[in-house]
Every structure is written in structure tokens, then in C-alpha cells.
A = this chain, B = another copy of it.
Amino acid sequence: VMFPSRKSHMFRIPALHGLTFKFKSCLSWLFAHVCVAMCFGLKSRRLLHSWKNLIFLLCFSWIRQGLFLVLRDFQGMIQVIIPQDEAHSHVKNLLSNAPVESVVRVTGIVSPRPPGQENPKMPTGDIEVKAETAEILNSCKKLPFEIKDFIKKTEALRMQYRYLDLRSFQLQYNLRLRSRIVMKMREYLCNLHGFVDVETPTLFKRTPGGAKEFLVPSREAGKFYSLPQSPQQFKQLLMVGGLDRYFQVARCYRDEGSRPDRQPEFTQIDIEMSFVDKTGIQKLVEGLLQYSWPKERGSISTPFPSMTYEEALADYGTDKPDTRFGMKIVDIGDFLRRSDIQFVQNALSYPHGTVKAICIPQGVEIVEIICRPDGSLKSLLTRFLGEEQQSQLVQALNMQADDVVLLAAGEEKQCSALGSLRLESADLLEAAGLVLRDPAAFHFLWVVDFPLFLSKEENPTELESAHHPFTAPHPTDTSLLYSDPTKVRSQHYDLVLNGNEVGGGSIRIHNAEQQRFVLEKVLKEDSEVLSHLLEALELGAPPHGGIALGLDRLVSLIVDAPSIRDVIAFPKSFRGRDLMGNAPDYITPEELKPYHIQVSWPLEEKEANKN
């Protein structure tokens, strides 16, 4: 799909699926092959012998005085010369009058363009097709928008006519590249590393705390299936079942209402292995991404750097740091400890109180508090700081002329505020024209040593899993599990790309007693709903671990798309609607009967409450 630059006397017709040929030396041969190959791709020529003609989607946008037209097929465009002689008047009429985006079959002679008329911007710009015959296979009615202008239309209109949007170069490229990447991943896992592609059910039952799981009513009154958020339980059970290396390109479901850039159904590369540790999974994934990385996006080097959760929070104020640029968070509590600034002293008196800062290089472009060219600070703070303190601060933050420092004082949580400011500042700097993040750079990062449990927001004395209850504790923290679970680090790892979480996984608990302890004693959950998993761990479960990569997000980052909707053929809108087919839709009470459910209309409820 990517068209390489032309070489002298070498032509590459995009539709030929990579066939390169010398032009002058094989003109007659070329004609015969182009005719078939342009329809179906060279390799299947033998397969599909019944269509012997050029077939293209027709694009009239460049028609010039009934002399030329440009045809577009699935892989490129080519210029067709409309014959002007009397003998071909039928062809002329037909091609001159066919509406834009109609589907036509054209046969003709491929020849070099007359000298001086070559178009170096077009991959097929050195040749043209002199039409001999033409046929309209399907005429196109009035388009709701022009294909080449699609990007200017409202997203709702594009979604309604998604099949037109799909004809755009960008979406064709995105979907075809996605397919290629996934195929390479399969080759790496299946053919090179002995993984077994196993399909797991999507009609299952609610997991504890699965409030975001879609329900599917069954024909048994009151009983519902649930569409799982991931094949987590099944992939662990496959390990117990001796399928030592599992992977699946798994459809997952999450009902999150209208969170931006989330889809109710999404895809993950789901991997699980027996007898593996964190390093094993990380090396596998690094090799997987390196192998499947599209050449046209450069190459990625392995191993990926790694950072603990604690470091990530301290240095970047987030557990998914964008490491393409600096502006790390710096603890300046010590420098300010002797200052007279009231709010700083307040902050430092808290149990985990501290003062932290980020230095925005060239921040003068976006804010007004600056480091002057002479090294002095333009800030209210200078009033409270001695000269020595000021110069220490400049040194600690490596401040340069026109840099700006933002500082925040308070409890540890302030880091995430500074983390957000850091990203916000980067956006503002780039909007102001500074180059901070190389758009061609791909910075992968492992984040490790997450806490195993977090305090519940609604009730801080209770604990919940930071990720999920099957995550194994860090080997050196296992004993803490029974004494001080809040201090236990987990064997969870996240994969971050340019500040986006693109994967996450863990080594799992394979010991039934430990799993039961976590569920019952730490999380205070009813372990009965997971009895099948607990029982499985008792019956010869090997040590195991795995990971899931978010395919939609990963591909959208690779193609630099603004949204995951740009790498999904038929995405839902923000509100979970299919604007093309109008889903979800109303269902008659009659159709609901077999499922023993009825709709509780909010209005009716209100009226019922009134009475």
C-alpha cells in the first residue's frame, strides 16, 4: 500500500501487489498481465481466470475536458485516456458521463505518457492506459460527501456513511496495516514460538465486581450470560489444562457508557504461558513487537527500558510516563525547607508532605513566570529565597534562560497534578511551535512493581486489587501478604508506549490457598463464584503468567491516528451507537418474551411513583 519512490525506467503499479518490471522491454507482456493482475492481484491470477479486464473504482475528480480520467482501485490510482475517435464514441460517452465513484471495467493498452506529461507525484505517473472498451458495473448516485474531502465532514456524517469513509487512503492504509501487523504477530507466536491459538467463550457469567459487563438474557428466566471484559479466567484454566502457550486475538467487551475514545467492544492480543516469569513475558513481548513492527514506521530497539511504579509516579506523576521528553518532576523540598514561605512550610509538615517542581524548557513561550537571561528568577518566590537557595534551585532543576518552573507543595498526590501539568505544558509548547516529541519516535517502557492492593476510594480501610485478584505478589513480599497487605508489591507489569498504556499483565497466583486467602481475607469477597478457578488451582496448575496488549490503541499509535476509531472498520460513536446501521434499536415486547424480560420505562416508573 505504501508506494516506494520511482526509479528511472522502473515502474511499480500499486495494484500489481509488488510486481516491479522494466517497462520498455516487456510492453506486450505487461498488457496481458496488467489486465488480470490489476483486478485481483498477481498471485491469484491462476485462481480467478474469469475476469480478464481492468476493473477499478472510478474517480472522476481529475477529469479534464473529457480527455482524461483517473481510476482508483484498492491499491492506487491510474490515469486513463478517453479515446476521441469515432470508433470509440461509445466508450467516450460512457466514461465521460459516468458519475464519480461509479464502478467500471476498462480494458486498454498501457503505455508510457508522452514526454513532459509524466506526473512525478503519482506512483503510476509515468504511464497511462489508453481505453479500448469500458463498462459501467455499478453507477454511483449523488454522494453525501466527496471521498477526498471526508476529513472535513462531521464525524457523525462519516460514521453514517462509514463505507464511503473506508474508501479514503488513510482508512484503507490503517486497516490493511492492522491486518498485516496481526498476521506477523500470529507468525511470531504460532510458527516461531509454539503458541496455540485457542478461542474462548464470550458468553460467560458475571465476574465479581463486573459492573461494566454487558448482560445477555438467556431463555432461562432470570438467568443472564455476561460478555467478559477479557478471557482472564479461561486463559488461566487453559494453563491448568496443559495448553502451555496460549494466545488469542480476543474480542472483549466493556460497558463504560460514554468515556471518550473507548469502544464497547475492543480487541486484545491475549497471551498466557506456563512456567514463565516476568522476564520471560517481557522478552516475548519485546520480540513480538519487534518482529511485527511495520518497516515503514522505523525499527524499535529492545530490551525496552523498565521503571518501577514508584519511580514513575515520582519522576513523571503518572504510571504511564511519556518518556519522549524530559521535564521530570524534581523534589525541591530540601531547598525550600529553610524558606519562609507559609504554604511550603505547611506542606512539609504533613506526614508525606513535600514540594516538587517541573522545569518547562522555553516555558516563556506559554507562561509568564520565567528564569531571566541573567539567571535570576521572575517569581514571587524569590522574595522568600536567599541567593544561595535560588542558585541551588536553578542547578537542581537545570534551568536555562527562558525556562519556567512550576511547583506544587502538598502530600505525595501532588505528583499527579504536576504530571498532568507536564503533559499540558508539552502540548502548549508544541502548539507554540517548539518540537518536544519526535512524531516518529516510539518510546516503549515497562512499568513494574505496582502495589498489589489499593485502598478503596469509598472506604479507605478496605482493600481492592490494583489490577485483578489473580495477580501474584512480588516474591520478596509474599510474607507481607499475611502481615501488611498494603505494603505488598505485585508481579504486575504494564507496557507503556509514548505515554499510553498499551498492555498489561502479570504472573498469576497458582497456589489455591494463596488465591483463597487473597479473595476471602484480603478482599473480603465471596469466593464461591470463583470456586471453579480455586478448584482448578488445586488440581495440578502449573506456575503461569501472561499479558494482554490493547490492539486498537497500539495500532492507532503506530499509524499516528488521533482516535482508535480510525483503526476499527465499524466503530461505535461516543455514546456506543452504530450510526450507520442504527444500533442499538427498539425491540418489540413480543421479541423479549422468550428471554423473560420486559423494559422498565423510566417515564412509567416516574408515573408509578406519583400514584
Chain A residues with CB under 8 Å of chain B are 17, 39-41, 43-44, 47-48, 50-51, 55, 57-58, 73-74, 101-103, 137-138, 140-141, 143, 160-167, 171-172, 175-176, 179-180, 182-183, 186, 190-194, 196-206, 211, 214-227, 233-234, 237-238, 240-245, 251, 253, 255, 257, 264-265, 267, 274-277, 279-280, 283-284, 287, 510-511, 532, 536-543, 568-570, 572, 576, 578, 580-587, 591-593, 595-602
Contacts and interface: CB of A to CB of B under 8 A. Distances in A.
Given A166-B243, A194-B41, A194-B44, A205 B138 contact: no
A492 to B, nearest CB: 18
- Taken together, the copies of this chain in the complex come to 2
Given A578-B205, A592-B215, A17 B267 contact: no
B599 A265 contact: no
A388 to B, nearest CB: 51
B44 A193 contact: yes
A580 B99 CA distance: 59
Contacts of A160: 532
A33 B469 CA distance: 36
A582 B540 contact: no
A98 B225 CA distance: 39
The 8 closest A-B pairs by CB, nearest first: A166-B241, A205-B583, A140-B540, A223-B584, A101-B540, A41-B194, A218-B584, A163-B241
A584 B225 contact: yes
A163 B199 contact: no
Given A175-B198, A595-B215, A242 B569 contact: no
A238 B166 contact: yes
Contact of A138 (B201, B221, B542): B542
A597 B598 contact: yes
Contact of A582 (B176, B532, B585): B532
B601 A222 contact: yes
Contacts of A592: 215
A584 B523 CA distance: 25
Contacts of A245: 41
20 contacts: A40-B275, A44-B284, A57-B242, A73-B244, A74-B242, A74-B274, A101-B539, A138-B541, A138-B543, A162-B241, A166-B242, A167-B242, A175-B196, A179-B196, A180-B190, A201-B578, A217-B597, A223-B586, A233-B581, A597-B600
